[in-house]
């Protein structure tokens, strides 16, 4: 189904029947991606005495509890409340959900024992005021990302200058296929988070970071429309389902 979208001063057409879902779903087992030293999430039926909330066990409905951490178990979108002493909710920070986005693929640069997404690498692919949202796919892009165990692996991350450049380009919504934009063990500095949100000098409360996305290799680099929909959690972060739509014209 072709939809016409009036976006700022231009009209675009997108095919709503051909979405590219770049979220990782939550699974209740060890095939789930895991970061930040957590155990696997759990999805299990409620148990009350001899009653089990599972149709195959005799109940009239399936009735599950879900135990998970949004930051460590699946695609999630977070607001600046992730790093502030004051409470800020993603549900209050994100009020619109459709953005023009650019998908770029980057091979992180080896710097010492780290793999780093540098400012120079981003500059080659993103220019000022191009888009409101940026999706970074790291290379190599393997399906193993869908179930990767990230704890103690020192995954790639963004250098502070890269995050600052992305902010200066006018990007308000940054999406990455990594567990964090920052180095796993950085002594709590969170330089990329702070640079992107411009915290604490002139904090961008409306800006968001989405982590642990997965962009299939069949999705080509380029400009898309992004539908970014976090679940309605009153929390600094919530599980989310970012979806890309190719611009037909």
Residue 4 has pLDDT above 90, yes or no: no
Instruction: Determine how many CB atoms are found less than 10 A away from the CB of residue 66.
Output: 11
CA distance 172 to 98: 12
CA distance 126 to 88: 29
pLDDT, tens digit (0-9, with 9 covering 90-100), for 43-59: 999 999 999 999 999 99
Residue 7 has pLDDT above 90, yes or no: no
CA distance 157 to 180: 7
pLDDT, tens digit (0-9, with 9 covering 90-100), for 126-181: 999 999 999 999 999 999 999 999 999 999 999 999 999 999 999 999 999 999 99
**pLDDT value for 150:** 98
Tokens of 18: 């051909």
The region of weakest confidence among 9-13, 91-95, 107-111, 136-140 is 9-13
Residue 249 has pLDDT above 80, yes or no: no
Residues whose CB falls within 8 Å of the CB of residue 86, separated by 6 or more in sequence, listed in order: none
Residue 108 has pLDDT above 90, yes or no: yes
CA distance 197 to 186: 18
User: Is the Cα torsion angle 56, 58, 62, 66 positive or negative in sign?
Assistant: negative
**pLDDT value for 12:** 85
Mean pLDDT across 185-198? 98
Instruction: Determine how many CB atoms are found less than 10 A away from the CB of residue 27.
Output: 17
**pLDDT value for 139:** 98
Residues whose CB falls within 8 Å of the CB of residue 225, separated by 6 or more in sequence, listed in order: 5, 7, 12, 14, 98, 99, 100, 101, 244, 245, 247
pLDDT confidence band for 9 (50 / 70 / 90): confident
pTM comes to 0.97
Spell out the CATH class of 2-24+70-247.
alpha beta
pLDDT, tens digit (0-9, with 9 covering 90-100), for 204-237: 999 999 999 999 999 999 999 999 999 999 999 9
CA distance 5 to 225: 10
Query: How far is C-alpha 199 from the geometric centre of its chain's CA atoms?
Result: 19
**pLDDT value for 248:** 86
Q: Coil, strand or helix: which one is 114?
A: strand
CA distance 166 to 47: 48
CA distance 155 to 26: 20
Instruction: Give percent of the chain above pLDDT 90.
Output: 94
Backbone angles phi, psi at 138, to 5 degrees: -90, 150
Instruction: Determine how many CB atoms are found less than 10 A away from the CB of residue 44.
Output: 13
**pLDDT value for 40:** 96
Domain limits of the chain?
2-24+70-247
**pLDDT value for 230:** 97
**pLDDT value for 8:** 78
């Amino acid at each position: 189904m072709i939809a016409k979208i009036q976006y700022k001063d231009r009209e675009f057409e997108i095919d709503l029947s051909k979405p590219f879902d770049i979220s990782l779903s939550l699974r209740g087992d060890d095939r789930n991606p895991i970061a930040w030293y957590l155990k696997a999430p759990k999805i299990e039926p409620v148990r009350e005495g001899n009653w089990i909330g599972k149709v195959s066990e005799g109940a009239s409905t399936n009735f599950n509890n879900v135990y998970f951490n949004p930051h460590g178990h699946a695609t999630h979108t977070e607001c600046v409340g992730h790093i502030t002493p004051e409470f800020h909710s993603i549900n209050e920070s994100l009020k619109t959900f459709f953005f023009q986005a650019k998908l770029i693929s980057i091979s992180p640069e080896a710097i010492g024992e780290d793999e780093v997404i540098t400012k120079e690498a981003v500059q080659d692919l993103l220019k000022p005021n191009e888009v409101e949202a940026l999706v970074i796919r790291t290379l190599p892009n393997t399906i193993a990302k869908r179930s990767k165990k990230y704890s103690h692996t020192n995954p790639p991350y963004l250098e502070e200058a890269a995050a600052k450049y992305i902010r200066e380009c006018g990007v308000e919504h940054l999406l990455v296929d990594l567990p964090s934009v920052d180095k796993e063990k950085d002594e709590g500095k969170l330089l990329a988070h702070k640079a992107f949100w411009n915290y604490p000098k002139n904090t961008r409360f409306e800006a968001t970071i989405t982590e642990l996305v997965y962009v299939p290799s069949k999705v080509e680099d380029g400009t898309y429309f992004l539908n970014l929909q976090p679940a309605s959690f009153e929390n600094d972060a919530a599980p989310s389902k970012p979806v890309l739509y190719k611009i037909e014209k």
